[in-house]
């Protein structure tokens, strides 16, 4: 079955460390996204990529970085510059809207906590 795999499910970071969250999809989708979810809030867009080797900042990109070297992979690095990284991180993918009106598909998320 096709889907989106996020790993690890739980991640702990020490102060001053960078950590990388993995997101892999086998849906053959061109577009991929990273969201942050905080308690009682909706999802906020961190970064998105519509095609390999290209990505754009979302609404809350500061303190995060991404790469898109392969179509199926879109890893997110939470850097030490992100002062409040504790959150639930969700990765999604979709067929770009210009091709068809398809919704985004989500992974099961990674919960990041600060030690």
Partner 1 sequence: GNSVTQMEGPVTLSEEAFLTINCTYTATGYPSLFWYVQYPGEGLQLLLKATKADDKGSNKGFEATYRKETTSFHLEKGSVQVSDSAVYFCALTLYNTDKLIFGTGTRLQVFP
Contacts to partner 1 by CB under 8 A: 4, 6, 31, 33, 40-43, 45, 48, 50, 58, 90, 92, 94, 96-98, 101, 103-109
| Smallest separation, CB 113 to partner 1 (Å) | 14
| Smallest separation, CB 44 to partner 1 (Å) | 8
Tell me whether residue 6 or residue 82 sits nearer to partner 1 (CB atom). Answer: 6
> Among residues 62, 63, 61, which one has the least CA distance to residue 33?
61
Whether omega before 106 lies within 30 degrees of 0, making that bond cis, reads no
Tell me whether residue 15 or residue 101 sits nearer to partner 1 (CB atom). Answer: 101
Rg (CA), the chain: 13
Q: Counting Cβ atoms within 10 Å, is residue 90 exposed (0-12), middle (13-18) or buried (19+)?
A: buried
| Smallest separation, CB 42 to partner 1 (Å) | 4
| Smallest separation, CB 83 to partner 1 (Å) | 22
């Amino acid at each position: 079955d096709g889907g989106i795999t996020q790993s690890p499910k739980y991640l702990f970071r020490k102060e001053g460390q960078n950590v990388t969250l993995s997101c892999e999809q086998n849906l053959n989708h061109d577009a991929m996204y990273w969201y942050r979810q905080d308690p009682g809030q909706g999802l906020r867009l961190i970064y998105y990529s519509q095609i390999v080797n290209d990505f754009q900042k979302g609404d809350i990109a500061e303190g995060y970085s991404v790469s898109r070297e392969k179509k199926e992979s879109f890893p997110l690095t939470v850097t030490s510059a992100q002062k409040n990284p504790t959150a639930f991180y969700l990765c999604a993918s979709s067929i770009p809207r210009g091709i068809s009106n398809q919704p985004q598909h989500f992974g099961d998320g990674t919960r990041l906590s600060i030690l």
